[in-house]
């Protein structure tokens, strides 16, 4: 089988390629990515010399580039991760989010339809469902969409488009809406790797607002396994909510990182809140549990040890990333927050 992965040079995409190469030795893997600030071929050093792996640089927002790659590669399956993925960046500059997440997904769907109705899995987020109150039930597949950031609105739009191609054109699609992932190769603009790397550099860690916003956390390989199961056994046209059963406030995450890194709370700097900051995300993943026998395998305390350890051992990787284009973004996002 030939699997074409978009956004495979990013955080989850590169973990997925490692996972696929390890678990599906016979398959051909084609990774298409434009290599934005978040795309990094260093994430794929372990697989780049494999005979069954190939990288092609294209921009999914360019229709002709997408059509050319899909029609020449003729994949059996497309798994689409490519997106602008960071909420704070979507507040600073929303346009790129509409371009890649909406137009880019549209181009992929069109190419999949025009080239023999290719099996298409769309990787999405729980953020499309909006923000929960402390006592609300977790999101599930029937929760109405209520996105509140340009990031989540653009992902919601892409989900709707993907579903429309199933109903209108019979494109064999599935969608997964997953909670916050954590693990290796996570770009150090996101909460966990930013805090871990700042602490290694003896810098302060900027906690937004009162630190009481809640996220549900899932070890990235558990997410990869969920997508694999959906591809093998998922029902065409369906959506699956994927979560970690690990709801934590940002304060809890912060204190866990401080404890593991033997640092004190004087490292915390409370800074102005994110605009429109969603209060709480939580996932009811009983559908994928009951239908596909999927459950998270990595528990939170093991996962936290593994992520801290990874960033301690891979300083060359993240120091290169942090000293590059990231520095400008950091200045824009964090200056004048206090």
**Residue numbers annotated as active site:** 126-127, 151
- Quote the CA–CA distance of 21 and 221 in Å, as a whole number: 13
Interaction between residue 255 and ligand TYD (CB under 6 A): no
Residue 193 half-sphere exposure toward CB, CA atoms < 13 A: 22
- b/e sequence 14-39, b meaning 16+ C-beta within 10 Å: bbbbbbbbeeeeeebbbbbbbebbbb
- Quote the CA–CA distance of 40 and 60 in Å, as a whole number: 17
Min dist CB 179 to ligand TYD, Å, is: 9
Closer to ligand TYD by CB, 36 or 180: give it: 180
- Quote the CA–CA distance of 156 and 138 in Å, as a whole number: 18
- Report strand pairing: 247-249 vs 180-182: unpaired
Interaction between residue 119 and ligand TYD (CB under 6 A): no
Interaction between residue 123 and ligand TYD (CB under 6 A): no
Which of the stretches 54-62, 111-119, 134-142, 200-208 binds ligand TYD when contact is defined by CB under 6 A?
200-208
Interaction between residue 206 and ligand TYD (CB under 6 A): yes
Which of the stretches 3-11, 19-27, 204-212, 308-316 binds ligand TYD when contact is defined by CB under 6 A?
204-212
- Quote the CA–CA distance of 47 and 281 in Å, as a whole number: 34
Selected binder of ligand NAD within 17, 79, 104, 130 (CB under 6 A): 104
- Quote the CA–CA distance of 266 and 269 in Å, as a whole number: 8
Interaction between residue 199 and ligand TYD (CB under 6 A): no
Selected binder of ligand TYD within 82, 207, 241, 288 (CB under 6 A): 207
Residue 67, token pair as written in the block: 């059509």
Interaction between residue 190 and ligand TYD (CB under 6 A): yes
- Quote the CA–CA distance of 170 and 268 in Å, as a whole number: 51
Q: How many chain residues are in contact with ligand TYD, going by CB under 6 A? A: 12
Selected binder of ligand NAD within 3, 4, 5, 10 (CB under 6 A): 10
Interaction between residue 178 and ligand TYD (CB under 6 A): no
Beta bridge partners of 248: 215
Phi and psi torsions of 22, nearest 5°:
-75, -35
Which of ligand NAD, ligand TYD, none interacts with 132 (beta carbon under 5 to 8 A by kind)? none
| Residue number closest to ligand NAD, CB atom | 10
Helices (H), 201-279: 220-233, 250-260
Min dist CB 221 to ligand TYD, Å, is: 18
Note the residues at the interface with ligand NAD (CB under 6 A): 6-7, 9-13, 33-36, 38-39, 59-61, 81-85, 100, 104, 123-125, 155, 178, 180-181, 187
């Amino acid at each position: 089988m030939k699997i074409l992965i978009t956004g495979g040079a990013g955080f989850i995409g590169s973990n997925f390629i490692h996972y696929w190469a390890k678990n599906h030795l016979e398959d051909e893997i084609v990774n298409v990515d434009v290599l934005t600030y978040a795309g990094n071929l260093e994430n794929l050093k372990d697989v780049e010399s494999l005979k069954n792996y190939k990288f092609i640089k294209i921009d999914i927002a360019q229709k002709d580039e997408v059509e050319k790659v899909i029609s020449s590669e003729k994949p059996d399956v497309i798994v689409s991760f490519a997106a602008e993925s960071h909420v704070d960046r979507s507040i600073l500059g929303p346009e790129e989010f509409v371009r890649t997440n909406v137009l880019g997904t549209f181009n992929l769907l069109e190419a999949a339809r025009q080239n023999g109705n290719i099996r298409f899995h769309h990787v999405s987020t729980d953020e499309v469902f909006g923000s929960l109150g402390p006592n609300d039930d977790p999101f599930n597949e029937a929760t109405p969409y209520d996105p509140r950031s340009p990031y989540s609105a653009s992902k919601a739009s892409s989900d709707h488009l993907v579903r429309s191609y199933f109903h209108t054109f019979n494109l064999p699609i599935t969608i997964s809406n997953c909670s916050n992932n954590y693990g290796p190769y996570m770009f150090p603009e996101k909460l966990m790797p930013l805090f871990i790397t700042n602490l290694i550099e003896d810098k302060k860690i900027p906690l937004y607002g009162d630190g009481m916003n809640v996220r549900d956390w899932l070890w990235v390989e558990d997410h990869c396994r969920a997508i694999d199961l959906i591809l093998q056994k998922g029902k065409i046209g369906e959506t699956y909510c994927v979560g970690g059963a690990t709801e934590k406030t940002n304060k809890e995450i912060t204190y866990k990182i401080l404890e593991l890194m033997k640092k004190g709370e004087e490292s915390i700097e409370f800074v102005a809140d994110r605009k429109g900051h969603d209060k709480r995300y939580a996932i009811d993943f009983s559908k994928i549990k009951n239908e596909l026998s999927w459950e998270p395998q990595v528990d939170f305390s093991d996962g936290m040890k593994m992520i801290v350890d990874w960033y301690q051992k891979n300083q060359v990787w993240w120091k290169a990333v942090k000293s590059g284009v990231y520095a400008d973004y950091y200045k824009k996002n964090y200056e004048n927050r206090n």
